[in-house]
Each structure stands twice: as structure tokens, then as C-alpha cells.
Amino acid sequence: MNKRILLIGWDAADWNLLNPLIDSGELPALNRVVENGVAGDLAGGQLLDTAAQWTSMVTGKRPWQHGVAHSLEFDANLQQPTPISRKHRRCAAIWEMLAAHGRRSIVFGWPATQGGTADFCSIVSNRYAEPTAPPGTKVWPPALAGTYWPKDLGNSLDPLRMSPEALGADIISRYIPDWQKIDQKGDRRMGQLRVLLALDLSHCAGFNFLLARNDWDFAAVRLPALGNIARRFCHFIRPGGRE
């Protein structure tokens, strides 16, 4: 491998959504990627669960082969559903294949990586940005056990996790210009947007930190917020334009 490979997983980044934004000049970086590279649709499997699809991408296997068919598993200790962990994946992912040849990888926020380990790999699971304290707590406790491999990554990455409360009005106003007019006691959607933006901003901060400070041949990051934002807010978009 003479050149590095960067894989970015972007939930709900459909061309029907992206092309109008590219044409209007609102996504200049993506426009350069499209113009100087190759763009097109990926054929997906019949199972549309995001964890299953992203695991198929990095294993080359169908869900019934790799074992990740759902985004959630039941945690017997917590007595509630939690994001599916590495133990369910039954075959090697690309970073594990590369490790067998001495190639170094960074994997950040990918589904089914909680509790994962691999040689020559820095792994941060998709539970990285999950809150570990109630709202109002100024300093969050460390991320959940199993989030990092090697485990000492937490020393550098825990401080980069962003609380939704840390998103100021300057950021929120980019998405909701008239946010002051919203009754937040009766309409909790702005709070949901804060949580989702903090999720992706945490992933970006942590991933960029590892990219800049590690030797790597392959790096993969998944940014899941867009998919959740689309499900909650896209029905407010007028046909042929945005509100």
C-alpha cells in the first residue's frame, strides 16, 4: 500500500440530498472530491440496518455471514438495549486484515467495535461520545470501558468528548436562525439537535487528533448524526427548497 486510504462513513448522505447542496456551493470540499474522483451509488443489501450495512462495507460479507444484523443488543447488566459490540462480528474487518500484513489503522466510531482489539490499530468505538454523566455535570467521567484500544487512548481522547451543553448559540444559530423563538420546554427537538451535533463534533475532534499524531495506512471514521437529523427534521424541507 503506497498511499493512505481514508474511509468516511456518513449516514443518510444520499445524492438526492447532496447534489443540490453541491450545486449551490454549500459543500465545496465534497465538490472537489466528486470533480477529481469517482462518485456513484453503492449497492446495499436488503437489510437496511445501519450497523449491518457499515459492517458489510468493512468485511465484504453479508449480515448473515458477519453476524451483525441489528444496531442494538440487550445488555443483561443494565437491563436495556445498547449499541451492538464487537463480540457479535464473526469475521475479520479490513483493519484486521491489514494488521496481518503489518499495516497500521485508525478506526473511529464504527459500529460493532465496542470492546474490539487488533494489532497495529487504534480503535475508538461508536460509544465514544455517549454521555457518562447527567446534564449539568461540568467534567464528564471517562468513556465507557471497552471504548478504546489501546486502553490508554482515553488519556488523550476523553477531554475531547463534547457535551451537548457545550454547543453555544453561535453553532445552534447556523442550523436554527430563530432558535430564541422556540419554547424549549414544549419542543425538545433543539435539545435533540444539540446531542446529535455534539456526537459528530466529538468524533471529528478525536479522529483528527489521532490522524495528526499517528502513523497510519488506513483510517475510517463514521459520522452518524446526519442520519438521525434527517429522520427528525427532513420532513420540514419544502419540495424544491429548504425552510
Task: Express each pLDDT in 91-134 by its tens digit.
Answer: 999 999 999 999 999 999 999 999 999 999 999 999 999 988 88
Phi and psi at residue 71, to the nearest 5°: -80, -20
Residue 150: asked if its preceding bond is cis (omega within 30°), the reply is yes
- Across the strands, what pairs with 74? 81
Residues in Cβ contact with 40 at an 8 Å cutoff, skipping those fewer than 6 apart = none
b/e sequence 170-187, b meaning 16+ C-beta within 10 Å? eebeeeeeeeeeeeeeee
- The mean pLDDT value for 18-46 works out to 84
Confidence of residue 139 (pLDDT cuts 50, 70, 90): confident
pLDDT one-digit tens code per residue, 162-192: 988 888 888 888 888 888 888 777 877 888 8
List Cβ neighbours of 61 (8 Å cut-off, separation of 6 or more).
55, 91
Q: Say which range, 38-42, 55-59, 107-111, has the weakest mean pLDDT.
A: 38-42
Q: How many residues does the chain have?
A: 243
> Where are the domains positioned within the chain?
5-236
SS3 assignment, position 46: coil
* pTM attached to this predicted model: 0.88
Winning range, highest mean pLDDT, from 54-58, 77-81, 237-241? 54-58
